[in-house]
Structure 1
Amino acid sequence: MSLRTAQPLLPPEADWQAKVARAFSRAAPRYDALANAQRHIGETLWRGLPYTANHILDLGCGTGYWSQRLATRYATANVTGLDIAPGMLEHARAYHGDRIIWQQGSAEALPLPAGSFDLVFSNLAIQWCRDSLAVMRSLYRVLTSGGKAFITTLLPGTLAEIAAAWQRPDALLKTPERCALEAAISESGLLSLQQSTWVETFFYPDFKAVMASIKGVGAQVARPNAALTRADLAAAAARFEQLREPRGLPVTYHCLNLQLEKP
C-alpha cells in the first residue's frame, strides 16, 4: 500500500478555471501577434463606449491591450485590468506599467468592492465562464447605480469549421446559448439596453495558420479524450481544405454585443 497521501481533486468548476488560466498564461507571449480576430471584434465594442467614465474595469484584460487604450481614452479615470491568468497579467504589467491596476480573479466571483465601477468593458472573455448567472450577478454587484457594462461574447456556431474538420466538437469551447445569457441578465437585475448579433469570418492561408490563430490565444483548453494525434491533424487539414474559399481557409465567429446597465 502506498504511503503517499492522495491529493484532493479540484471541484469541476475550479479545475476548469485552472485549465483556462494555464492555457492563457502559456499564450501570453504570442497573444498580441495572433489576436487579429479578437481585436477586430473588439473594435465594434469600442465604438459604442460612452464619452466619459471615472472608474473602469477591463474584464478579461489579457495582455492589457484594451486596458491601455481605455486609460488613454479616459485620461483621468482609474482603470483596473482583471484576468484569471497570471501569465497574462505579468505580460500586461511589463508592457503597460502600473498606472493601470492589475488584478487576478474570475468574472464569476469578482474580487472587487461593490459599487466600484461606472464602466465595465469586456471583449471576448465571458464565454470562458461556465456560470453565466454568476458573471451577471458579479457585474451587478461591482457596478455603480447607473453604471454600464459593454460586452462582446461568442455564441454557438463559433469555430464550426474547425469542429467539422477535426470531427471532434468536444475539443472546442462550448459557448452559452443567447437565451441562457438573456435569462442570466434578467435574473441578475441588470437591464439590457442593447443587444446585437453578427457573424465574422476570417481567412487564413493554411491549416497551420488556422491552428496558430486559435491555439495562440488560448482557445484550445484540454478536455477529456480530446487530445489530437499527428494523424488526427493530417486528416483535419485535409478535411479543412474542402472548405477553402478564394480568400483562404475560413474561421467563423458568431458574436453577441451587449450593453447592460445597473438600474
Structure 2
Amino acid sequence: MNTPVTSLPLLRWQERVARAFSRAAPRYDALASAQRDIGETLWQTLPQSAQQVLDLGCGTGYWTQRLASHYPNATTTGLDLAPGMLAHAQAQYGDAIRWQQGDAAALPLDDASVDLVFSNLAIQWCPDIGAVMQELARVLAPGGQARITTLLPGTLSEVATAWQRPEALLQTPDASTVQRAIQQSGLRLTQHTCAQRRFFYSDMNAVMASIKGVGAQVTRPNAQLTRRELAAAQARFETLREPQGLPVSYHCFTLHLEQTP
C-alpha cells in the first residue's frame, strides 16, 4: 500500500491544489519556463501514432494543443483538477479538444479507452501514486503507452535552504516507491531516467515568481513574512549564486509505460 505524501485529509489537499493552480492560470505560461523545457525533452519520445490521447494534468492546455496538432486524427482530452486552468485552456484553444475536470487517482474515463497518456510534471501533486498508476492501467488500452515526467525528493532544495523551511520542498515519493507502484499496477516500465535539471534566475523575486506562478506555493503554510525574514532569506539564497544566476533544481523522473497487449 502506498502512503499519501501529505498529512492533510485528501479532499482538503485536492481543494488546495486546485485553488492554487486555478489562481496561477493567467500567468502560468509566462512563468513556467522550467516546466516547458522539461516537457520538450518528453515530447521527443512520443510514439508515431495515437487515436485516443490524454494530457493528464493539462494545466493551461499548452501541451494538449500541441498533442492535438501532432495527432490530427486523434480525439484529444485535456484533464486537470483545477477548474481555473481548464477555463483558461478552453478560452485559449477552443472546443475541438475535450476539456475534462478530474482527479488522476479517479479518472472519469472508461476502461481501456486511451492509447496514449502524456503527463508533464503533474502527478507529483497526487497524494497516492499507487492509485494514479492503477487508474492509468485501467484506462490504457492493450498496447497503450504513457509518457510521464514527475519530480523526486530534492526538488527546490535551494528554495528550502533559503527559507530554512523543509516544507518548501515538494513531498514527493522516491523513485523506488514510484517503480513499486508501477509494478503493482501491472503496467510495464519500458524505460526510465532520473536527471537533475537546474535553472537559473536573476534574483529571488524571479525564483519565487516562477514557483508561485505554477502553483507550487501550495506546499508551504500561509504566513506573513517580516522584512527581516525576507532579507535573511535573500542573503541565504545569495550564498548559492553562480555565474548564471540563482539556481533552482528539479529532480526529474521520466517514465515510459506500456499496457500489456
TM-score (norm 2): 0.94
State the Cα distance separating 1:111 from its structure 2 match: 1.0
| In structure 2, distance between residues paired with 1:262 and 1:51 | 17
Which of the numbers 37, 52, 55 marks the counterpart of 1:58? 55
Matched, 1:77 2:74: yes
What is the root-mean-square deviation in Å for CA atoms of aligned residues? 1.1
Identical aligned pairs, as a percentage?
65
Partner of 1:200: 197
User: Which blocks of at least 5 consecutive residues in structure 2 are unaligned?
Assistant: 1-7
| In structure 1, distance between residues paired with 2:39 and 2:168 | 25
Q: Kindly indicate whether the alpha-carbon contact (under 8 Å) linking 1:150 and 1:260 is maintained by their aligned counterparts in 2.
A: yes
TM-score (norm 1): 0.94
Query: Over residues 148-167 of structure 1, what are the superposed CA-to-partner deviations in whole Å (9 max), with x where a residue is unaligned?
Result: 01000000111000001110
State the Cα distance separating 1:223 from its structure 2 match: 4.5
| In structure 1, distance between residues paired with 2:254 and 2:26 | 28
Q: Kindly indicate whether the alpha-carbon contact (under 8 Å) linking 1:172 and 1:221 is maintained by their aligned counterparts in 2.
A: no
Partner of 2:138: 141
Residue identity matched to 1:78 = T
Query: Over residues 42-74 of structure 1, what are the superposed CA-to-partner deviations in whole Å (9 max), with x where a residue is unaligned?
Result: 011100000100000000000000000000000
Task: Report the 3-state secondary structure (helix = DSSP H, G, I; strand = E; otherwise coil) of the residue aligned with 2:105.
Answer: helix
State the Cα distance separating 1:222 from its structure 2 match: 4.9
Q: Kindly indicate whether the alpha-carbon contact (under 8 Å) linking 2:75 and 2:97 is maintained by their aligned counterparts in 1.
A: yes
Q: Kindly indicate whether the alpha-carbon contact (under 8 Å) linking 2:167 and 2:219 is maintained by their aligned counterparts in 1.
A: no
Query: Over residues 78-130 of structure 1, what are the superposed CA-to-partner deviations in whole Å (9 max), with x where a residue is unaligned?
Result: 00000000000000000000000000011011111111100000000000011
State the Cα distance separating 1:13 from its structure 2 match: 0.7
Matched, 1:44 2:41: yes
- The number of residues matched between the two structures is 252
| In structure 2, distance between residues paired with 1:45 and 1:39 | 10
Partner of 1:108: 105
Partner of 2:5: none
State the Cα distance separating 1:228 from its structure 2 match: 5.1
User: Which blocks of at least 5 consecutive residues in structure 1 are unaligned?
Assistant: 1-10
State the Cα distance separating 1:227 from its structure 2 match: 2.6
| In structure 1, distance between residues paired with 2:219 and 2:71 | 38
Q: Kindly indicate whether the alpha-carbon contact (under 8 Å) linking 1:80 and 1:102 is maintained by their aligned counterparts in 2.
A: yes
Residue identity matched to 1:178 = A
